[in-house]
Amino acid sequence: MRLTNNKILITGATSGIGEALLKKLLQYDNEIIGLLLPLLKQNDNAAIINVSSGLGLVPKMQAPVYCSTKAGLHIFSKALRYQLDHVKVFEIIPPLVETKMTTGRGKNKISPEELAAEFVQAFKRNHYEISIGKVKLLKLLNRVSPLLAENIMRRG
């Protein structure tokens, strides 16, 4: 059994609206996993696959709610991994991917097929936190020089 969470939310909402949306989205993930957890625990090969984003590691200013939900999903995935002994919790952390949502935005996007191929390789090796493409570099840069990573990503 596989459970995949992938939140897509793009909004300029700030303050109370953004906070309410963030709480609702994280609550939704929690509720779905809570409902399915008994089934997942019965399966010896169960996995949860969450799709966050490099923007959950280092945000950009145009999408505070989107970045917040992805950051929340990143930490949620880690914490869930600590709690569940017999359920594998994977997190895909992609860069900008060529989708309908990203049409007209950004450049040097990866294709969904590239993302899937890289994910499958890591999945087979039981790598649970899977940085895809340029996110590997972003994580390294954020570790070595967080200020530089923030300056690069800030304006997206």
128 belongs to the catalytic site: no
Q: What is the tally of structural domains in the chain?
A: 1
* Contact by Cβ (8 Å): 85, 39: no
pTM equals: 0.78
Give the range of the structural domain holding residue 16, as residue numbers without chain letter.
2-153
> Is pLDDT larger for residue 8 or for residue 76?
76
Give the pLDDT band (50/70/90) at residue 9: very low
**What pLDDT is recorded for position 104?**
78
pLDDT for 2 beyond 50: no
> Tell me, what DSSP letter sits at residue 104?
T
How many of the other CB atoms lie within 10 Å of CB of 96?
A: 20
Q: Which of 28, 66, 82, 128 is catalytic?
A: 66
CATH code, domain with 70: 3.40.50.720
pLDDT for 103 beyond 60: yes
**What pLDDT is recorded for position 3?**
44
Query: Where does the chain show beta strands of DSSP type E?
Result: 2-6, 47-51, 88-93, 129-131
> Is pLDDT larger for residue 130 or for residue 66?
130
The pLDDT of 107-113, averaged and rounded, is: 87
